[in-house]
Amino acid sequence: MTEKTKGVLALLGIALVWSLMAMLPRYLSTALPLFQQVYLRFFCAAVFIAIIFRKQINFRQIFSGSAKDYWPIFLRTLLYYYLGVTLYTQAVIVTKISNASFIGALPLMAVLGFILFKEKVTASKVWLIILSFFGALIISVQDYSRVFVFGWGELIALASAFFISWGMLVRKWETKKFNNAGSSFLVMALATIMVFMTSLFTGEALPSRIPNGTIAALLLGGLFNTVLVILMTFGMRRVKGVLASNLLQLEVPLTVLLALFFYQEIPMFKDLFGGSLIFTAAFLMNRLEAKGA
């Protein structure tokens, strides 16, 4: 199996985990304020990484890097976790999850890949990006008369999608000083500190008497974030931004499939049609990248 194929599989895993964790922020918001639920999820992830990958993390090494090693990690943490995840959490609390999913399907990562990394732009790639986007549009939008009606929640979701896309691409700027486990631990530990300080600054109280159901959800969120950061750290170094953009849009049809599995929600024809467009676009984009087109 090639390194690129491993990267593709990692990104498919990210799409699956994203689809699984979409409901968590809204559930946690019933017991915890915004920043508190975010930093507690990050803290759980940092602990999980430290325990699960303890034999792979050289703690002396990860705290002995140079500025060149640390600045991309700080930037990824700031963009993806501090800004992107926090804003996404707020967005799914104040707006419809379907609206947030639609906005998240905008091909921002592909555009940023063209701009920041000078990835090759071809007509075929542009058409496949558009095809994938329309597939997500067909699945996500319930009222087409209000597709371009943006409220406060939708604007937050748009900002979140931008920062998440940019933050994932920043992984390509990181040095090879730290291995995947070490880099992932640094990101989650730094994200925990940044959001915790923001929580205190905004006047949120320290957590106390957290219900058992909320603790279970936090642990699950921490586990999801552990898987995400490991897969992202591994996959984004090996896959171009344009291909990553199409692969990650598979989150939308995967959410439909999970709703069928867990809640027996039968997908409509538009869901199947939109999902087929996204799967087709992802498959053909992978073929294009394999040919170097």
Q: What is d(CA 140, CA 271) in angstroms, rounded to the nearest whole number?
A: 8
Kindly calculate the radius of gyration of the chain based on its CA atoms and give it in whole angstroms: 19
* Residue-level pLDDT, tens digit, the chain, 293 residues: 777 788 878 888 888 887 777 778 888 988 999 999 999 999 999 999 999 998 999 888 888 889 999 999 999 999 999 999 999 899 888 776 666 666 776 777 888 888 887 777 788 878 888 887 777 777 666 665 655 555 677 788 889 989 998 998 998 888 889 999 999 999 999 999 999 999 999 999 888 888 899 999 999 999 999 998 998 888 887 787 777 877 777 776 776 676 666 656 676 777 678 778 777 877 777 777 666 55
Whether residue 133 contacts residue 249, with contact meaning beta carbons closer than 8 Å, is answered with yes
Whether residue 9 contacts residue 199, with contact meaning beta carbons closer than 8 Å, is answered with no
Beta-carbon contacts of residue 51 (< 8 Å; ≥ 6 apart): none
Q: What is d(CA 271, CA 47) in angstroms, rounded to the nearest whole number?
A: 38
Beta-carbon contacts of residue 139 (< 8 Å; ≥ 6 apart): 101, 252, 253, 256, 270, 271, 274, 275, 278
Whether residue 254 contacts residue 15, with contact meaning beta carbons closer than 8 Å, is answered with yes
Residues listed for the chain = 293
Residue 131 is predicted with a pLDDT of: 82
pTM of the model: 0.81
